[in-house]
Amino acid sequence: MTLTRRLLLLASVTAVTGVGPSRALAQTGTQTTRIVVPFSAGALTDIIARIYADKLTPLLGQPVIVENRPGAGGVTATAAVAAAPADGHTWLFVSSAHATNPALRLKLPYDTEKDFSGLALIASSPSVVIVNASHPAKTLQEFIAAAKRAPGSMSFGSAGIGAATHLAGEYFMAETGTKLLHVPYKGVQEAVSAVVGGQLNTAFPPIALALQLIKSGRLRALAVTSPERVPVMAETPTMAEQGFAKYDSSIWYALVMSAGVPKPVMETLAAKVREVSNQPDVIEKLRSQGLIPKQLMLRDFDKFIAGEIKLIGRLVKASGYKPE
């Protein structure tokens, strides 16, 4: 019996036998559930997915494994999940790239909004506005003032055109009225290294990639890009605190499934994911990575994704990038 049929029968099993949902799931078989990750092992997406896979295995009463399928900025894995049976056994672990790809590519082998349903937003990773520790700007306002005095003379680096770290820079310029020179790299860590080395003026990496360099005094943090301060960098003010109330440029991490999975199945699985998200050790593991735990489920998460697609589309258009 497939997971879909088992979960659809779960409510009636519980009503007739009095057995709780978790126990009923455990009695229904051991078919493997896959969480497909569009990036390589060791990436932050992979780390988070494995935390959830380990916790979901006993809750679902079946093995939950992580399958890494990197390639084409997440399109390879996403297309594979779109083509898989909509039986609840194949999940897709996504990041903000899920909402970025529609703006970067003229043709995708799937429709992001029509072919997928949001299961759960798990966490977000704010970016941090960094400069070299010897940079003359001691505050965000000083940096912005310097950039305005000489438009285009100051630079920022990213993980490539259309990457979240590029869009964070475009968003920054739009909100602050500045003009920075964009320098794309193969990865955001290279951009961070260029700021350390003085080849770049700034970058907008996820906190986890810059935290140790900030703590060691090699980089200076001017602002975090989330609406609220981040516990691991509690002394660093947000963009909002410094006059940019609308600026929120966090990279988010979430689970989605094929839109064909029945709603009762989605609801049951979302409840299991929420149960994992509420576990204190999971919350602590996420926070230790510089992440902010989130819980946005089902329809509310679908609305969030739709809003992100529209926002990113505007940012990509403003950047001058032509979809390929």
Give the pLDDT confidence score for residue 213 in this predicted structure. Answer: 96
Q: Which residues contact 277 (CB under 8 A, 6 or more apart)?
A: 120, 122, 283, 293, 295
What H or E segment, with its residue span, contains residue 74?
none
> Residues 62, 29: contact at Cβ < 8 Å?
yes
pLDDT at residue number 192: 94
Q: Return the H-helix or E-strand segment holding 223.
A: strand 219-224
- Whether 128-242 and 3-124+250-319 are alike in CATH topology: the answer is yes
In terms of CATH, what superfamily is 128-242?
Answer: Periplasmic binding protein-like II (3.40.190.10)
**What's residue 221's pLDDT?**
98
Per CATH, the homologous superfamily of domain 3-124+250-319 is Bordetella uptake gene, domain 1 (3.40.190.150)
Q: Are 86 and 263 in contact (CB under 8 A)?
A: no
- In angstroms, the CA 319 to CA 256 distance is 28
How is the chain split into domains, by residue range? Answer: 3-124+250-319, 128-242
> Tell me, what amino acid is at 70?
P
Sign of CA dihedral 27, 29, 30, 34: negative
Average confidence (pLDDT) per 10 residues, the chain, 324 residues: 49 40 44 91 87 96 94 89 94 92 90 96 93 96 97 92 84 94 88 96 91 95 91 92 89 94 95 97 90 93 94 80 76
